[in-house]
A = this chain, B = another copy of it.
């Protein structure tokens, strides 16, 4: 089961903080850029992304239970970038990390089925993010493949961006759209007694939404928005069901580009590690992870 592997990884590291690998050219330290980039081709930039990602993973793999890889930044480099996307997932698995491919796919049944197979049958991918706009017959192929391959899903409920309210916070006769999506996710979940393999995404920038929905959801909540986007540890703490499990908090730039704040580019691995440690301390102080918690007694 995906969720059992996830929980075991969180417990072994006393940490629910996940690192996001969303490389951009301006995020790459000077010494790596110089080594690979001469003409600025996609192939060269992809090589720099790969060295950078590998460095970040080496720097944090023993602290983080999981890694999230945002495919958009690799698609931007075409096939060269996508090769690095798959290599990054492979290397993360080698290092014992649970992988989240942040692909946010969604389509009608037969197409959703192709997407589901594309990602959930890949042995380097433990879970993916999914867009719910199509309703249940667009989600079912993902559910089916997640069960067959013992993988996890994180279905978008309330996204971290400011404009998310325009659609997701619209009020219907029976609740807000984000609540309707949360209800839909609940009906799709297997009848589990513990945590479900089907999680959701709720931005840490919306603590009220997390608070309201946590008790109604049986899966983990993937919480983006900590750090660069402004979500605070106290906001995110509502995502933990028993103050120790139930939320996966993701930060990308604030970790991977921490060297811009702390020091020099050639020590980016050490600085990513330092930033992650600070994040873990901050989150655990509020979630009491690593202290006296239910699952550790």
Contact = CB atoms under 8 A, between A and B. Distances in A.
B136 A166 contact: yes
A83 to B, nearest CB: 6
Contacts of A137: 161-163
Given A75-B114, A83-B79, A170 B172 contact: yes
Interface string A240-283: 00000000000000000000000000000000000000000000
Contact of A135 (B79, B109, B167): B167
Interface stretch (A3-11, A55-63, A176-184): A176-184
Interface stretch (A31-39, A99-107, A215-223): A99-107
Contacts of A177: 167, 170, 172, 177
A61 to B, nearest CB: 24
Give the oligomeric copy count. Answer: 2
A293 to B, nearest CB: 31
Nearest to A80: B79
Nearest to A103: B75
Contacts of A115: 72, 75-76
A12 interface: no
B168 A171 contact: no
Contact of A168 (B109, B117, B133, B164): B133
Nearest to A253: B110
A167 B114 CA distance: 22
Contact of A171 (B109, B122, B172): B172
Tell which of A111, A132, A173 has the most Cβ of chain B within 10 Å.
Answer: A111
A163 B72 CA distance: 27
A70 B163 contact: no
A297 to B, nearest CB: 38
B118 A72 contact: yes
Contacts of A132: 133, 167
Interface string A175-213: 001001100100000000000000000000000000000
Interface in A76-91: 76, 78-79, 82-83, 86
The residue among A83, A133, A173, A181 with the most chain B CB atoms within 10 A of its own CB is A133
Interface string A7-24: 000000000000000101
Contacts of A181: 167
A159 interface: yes
Interface of A: 22, 24, 70, 72-73, 75-76, 78-79, 82-83, 86, 104-112, 114-115, 117-119, 122, 131-138, 156, 159-168, 170-173, 177, 180-181, 184, 224
